[in-house]
Every structure is written in structure tokens, then in C-alpha cells.
A and B are shown apart, each in its own frame.
Chain A
């Protein structure tokens, strides 16, 4: 499935969240990640993130799609990081 993950963490924990997300998804913008992920890995990601977060202060939003066929992505301004498998 395809996931868009947005988080808003306190200054102390934001770096940790960034590093966790990088293991599973592609960074597209500050605090925004996207990418293909399996159900199992998504669960793992959620567990790792909730362990580090402060539930009373931080928040995570997850948008999940079965496929990206009916979605459209538009970028205005600069593209900070184009997701690609060719480097």
C-alpha cells in the first residue's frame, strides 16, 4: 500500500522521528514522508514511532491508499526530494 506520513513532534524528539521514518519511507519534505510499504512494516513503523512520541504533545497523521491510481501529486515551487530508484 501507499502511505503519506506527516508528523509534528516536539523539538527534542523530532530528530528521532525523522530517523525512524527514513528506514521505511522516502523523505519528501520536512516532517513529510511517503512511499510504498507493506502492512507489516507499517505496523513496525507505528510501534517504533509511538514508543518515542509523547502522546500529550506530539502527533502523527497517516494517509493510506490501496494504490495510487486515483491520486494526483502536484508540486508547486521546488521539489525537495524526488522519490526514485535510479541514483
Chain B
């Protein structure tokens, strides 16, 4: 399993002796290029063209975040897995509204079912969430009768709003009370964690899509318009509850991140450098955790699970194998 590298310090990332070298005030650090899938840059890092060329030949995706933890952009190397056939089929499934609607519904279906799975887990532990679970299930039943993407989005928004309200019962620390979802900038600590976690997940999914024949610009739930990438947003929906939200619960409930890790800035609340690092660490641990895959009869990591999801979608559009979203069973 290839690893991801997260750079928080400032320095220079260069190509040296056919591998990667990160130079900072703390010294030189060589990174084995053959074992890297993508690099996340949070610090102030200098980069030159020869490095980008080198990353391109090694198919490594680079993601940039700015000082305020906002996603800036990605260096998405030349497609290494080109398939005109898949791109054509992908567009066909976008243009045909019925086919598009089906895929979009599957994404929401998967997302909601994973949400319920997360809630059920906490319901059996310390929080009483049976009523919320019931409500979400009822909303989900309306899904099949919807006829436009906008209606689907409305249902999804509805479920998410109910779901985020449950956070207050799951998280014991009162400093992390959820009131309403706020973005750009997030107005409180919990929103700040949700936004940061989601934006990282989007890029993780993007890196995984890069390893497949799919084109990340053609999404189904999130419409393909002038946005750069949208398929990664779609696939991320399924994994948000089981990867990001679970990481949020564990960093707060285990007191890895406390109120001290936040700063008031830009008219909102953002994570400090150290808090950011702790949260990314937790996310990375989660991604590298392996589970027994139900149909592969093999152990796979959460990160690989995202790639498998992309493969399933690819099979759906090329081979007509009906796409079923991944639903956690625990």
C-alpha cells in the first residue's frame, strides 16, 4: 500500500538522485519516491519544475492547502490511465438523465446508510439516537420517488441536518456544540473540523480516482459545470460519515483535540497548525486501518476501499454491472 506524505513545515521539496528530498530547518529528509501515492502540502514549500516533471513520471498527485486550511488546488499529473471509451461512457451516463439520476440516488443511498450505521454504533453505546435514526430512515424512503437531482440534494441536505444535530449527543465535550452548518469560514469548532476533514477527504478521493480510468470532472450528483472536479465530491459523500465523522468523534472524545487547538481568524474559527496535524494524523490512521472486505475475502484499507468504489462505478458504466454503494456493516 503506497503512502501519503503530509508536509506541515516550511522548506524546499526537490528532486534529488531520482528520489524526493525535503529540506527544512530541521534538516534533510529523503522520501522514497516509489512508495508515495500523493503529497499534501500545508506549509510554505518551494517547488520547481523539475520536481513537477519528476512527480508526473512517478504519477504522484500533489495537493495544496493555504494558511487558513482552505483547499487551494492540486497538481494533477498527465493522465496515466487514458481510456477514451470510459470517458465516453461516463459522459453518456451524465447526459442520459435517467441513468444519471440512478447513480446520484445510489450515492445518497450509500451516504445515508453509512450515516445510520454510525448513529447505530453510538446508539448502542452511550447516546439515545433511536428517534433520529427512525427519522432519517423515513426521509430516505422518499428518495426513490424523486425525479430531479435538485430534489435529491434537498433530501440529502435534510438528512445531513438531522445527522449533524446528533453530534451534540455523541460528543461529550460541551465546547464542541453544534448549532448549524456554517462554511467559508466555519463559525464554530465543530464546523471547522467538519469542513477541514471533508476538504481533505475530497482530495484523498481525487488521488484514488487518478489511479483509475475515470475522469474526475464528470460527476453525477454534483453537476458537471464550471467546477474543476466533481466526481470526487460524489464518491466522498459515501465515505464522509465513516472516515471523517468518526475521526472527528474520536479526536474530541479522546481529547486529542481540545478548545486550545483553535484560533479565531478570518471572522471564523480555524484549527491551529498543531491541531491540524493531530487531526490529519487521526485521519491517516483511519485510512490505513484495514478491514475484512465482505466479497473480496481479503483485508483492505479504507483508502483502498475508496479506490474499489471507483472501480465499481467504472464497471457500472462500462460493463453494466449495477453499482451498489459501499455500506459499512459495523
Contacts and interface: CB of A to CB of B under 8 A. Distances in A.
Interface of A: 19, 22-27, 35-37, 41, 44, 81, 85-87
A16 B275 CA distance: 40
Contacts, number: 51
B4 A23 contact: no
B29 A35 contact: no
Contacts of A81: 29
A87 B19 contact: no
A35 B8 CA distance: 22
A20 to B, nearest CB: 9
16 contacts: A19-B17, A22-B32, A23-B34, A24-B32, A25-B32, A25-B35, A26-B30, A36-B3, A37-B34, A37-B35, A41-B35, A86-B280, A87-B8, A87-B9, A87-B24, A87-B29
Contacts of B17: 19, 22-23
Most buried by A among B19, B24, B281, B284: B19
A87 B40 CA distance: 10
A21 to B, nearest CB: 8
A86 B8 contact: yes
Chain B interface size band reads: 20 to 34
B2 to A, nearest CB: 8
Contacts of B33: 23
Given A22-B32, A44-B34, A86-B8, 16 more contacts: A19-B18, A19-B19, A24-B32, A25-B32, A26-B32, A27-B30, A35-B35, A36-B1, A37-B35, A85-B3, A85-B284, A86-B281, A87-B6, A87-B8, A87-B22, A87-B29
A41 B2 CA distance: 11
B129 interface: no
Contacts of B6: 85-87
A34 B254 CA distance: 31
Contacts of B3: 36, 85
Contacts of A19: 17-19
Contacts of A24: 32, 34-35
